[in-house]
Amino acid sequence: MHQRKSKKLLIYFFLLIIISSTNNISLRNLEFPKVRNIEVSGLDKMENKLVIDQIKNLNLSNIFFINKAEINNLISSNPLIEKYQIFKNYPSALKIMIKKTNFIGKINHKNEIFVIGSNGKLIHNNSQASDLPFIFGKPEIKELLKFKQIVDQSKFSFDEVDSLYFFPSKRWDIKLKSNILLKLPNSLTQEYLNNLYKFLEIHNGKNLTTVDARLENKIILNE
C-alpha cells in the first residue's frame, strides 16, 4: 500500500512539473501518451487475445486517466476468470495477470450443458472438461462449492468422483469412478467422510455397489 501511494505521489509530482513548466500553453493542448501496449496472461492464447481486443474496444485514452471501473466490469464479466491484477507500466502500457478458474463439474441448466467454475460461474461447455463429474439435480452453486470443500478437506479426492446427485433435502450422493455409490447424510462433515473412507479401505476386497451411510452409526451395504 505504501509503495502504491509513493508511486501516485511521483506521478502527481511529474504532472505538476509538466504543468508548471508550460508557459503560455493552454492545459488543453497538453497531450499525454495513449495506451499503446496491453499484455494479458493467465488464460489460453486465444482467450488472452480476446480479453486484449475487448479492452482495446474501450478506446482507452491515456494511462493516467484510465476508467478502472470499465476494465474491472469487463474482466469480471468473463466467467473463465477467478482473480486478476492490473498493473500500469508507465508511460503507455497495461499488464493484466489472470488466474483462470478451475473447472469442477458439469450441469444441465435450462436444457443446456454448462461447466461450473470454482469462481461459482457457469461456463458454456468446454472440450477440456470432458472428464468432469456430472451433477444431477438443481443445487445452488454455493451449495456445490461448500460440498466440494468438505470433500477436498477429507481423505477422498474429487478426482475419484464420477457423478454427484443432489436432492431437494440438500443431501448428496457420490458415484465414484470405481462404480460405488455413496449415500451420504444431510449433515456431512470432513470427519464423517474420513471414517467412510477408512471403511471402504477395510472392505476393499468386496464387490461393493452401494454404501448407504445416511443413518447415524449405521452403514447398509449392497453387494
Query: What are the tens digits of pLDDT across the range 46-81?
Result: 999 999 999 988 888 777 778 888 899 999 999 999
The verdict on 144 and 46 lying in the same domain is: no
Neighbours of 80 (CB within 10 A): 20
- Domain-ending residue, one of 100, 135, 170: 100
Average pLDDT over residues 171-195: 95
Together in a domain, 89 and 114 = no
% residues pLDDT > 90 (the chain): 61
CATH code of the domain containing 206: 3.40.50.11690
Is 10 among the domain residues?
no
Whether residues 149 and 201 fall in one domain: yes
In a shared domain, residues 124 and 197 = yes
Phi-psi region of 110 (alpha: psi -120 to 50; beta: other; left: phi over 0): left
**Residue in this structure with the C-alpha cell 478437506, named with its chain if needed:** 153
Query: Within this chain, do residues 93 and 124 fall inside the same structural domain, yes or no?
Result: no
Neighbouring C-beta atoms of residue 208, cutoff 10 Å: 19
For position 85, which CATH number holds? Answer: 3.10.20
Residue 125: domain span: 103-222
Q: Is 206 exposed, middle or buried (0-12, 13-18, 19+ CB in 10 A)?
A: exposed
Q: Are residues 72 and 166 in the same domain?
A: no
Whether residues 41 and 89 fall in one domain:
yes
% residues pLDDT > 70 (the chain): 83
On whether both 155 and 92 belong to a single domain, the answer is: no
Task: Tell me how far apart the alpha carbons of residues 222 and 177 are, in angstroms, rounded to a whole number.
Answer: 17
39 with 143, same domain: the answer is no
Q: Are residues 116 and 164 in the same domain?
A: yes
CA end-to-end distance (rounded Å), the chain: 61
C-alpha cell, 33: 501518451
Question: Domain ends where: 100, 126, 141?
Answer: 100
Q: Are residues 129 and 217 in the same domain?
A: yes
In 10 A of CB 181, how many CB atoms? 17
Mean pLDDT for all residues in the chain: 85
Asked whether residue 199 carries a pLDDT value surpassing 50, the answer given is yes
On whether the pTM is more than 0.95, the answer is no
| 194 shares its domain with 137 | yes
Domain count, the chain: 2
Q: What is the pLDDT of residue 191?
A: 95
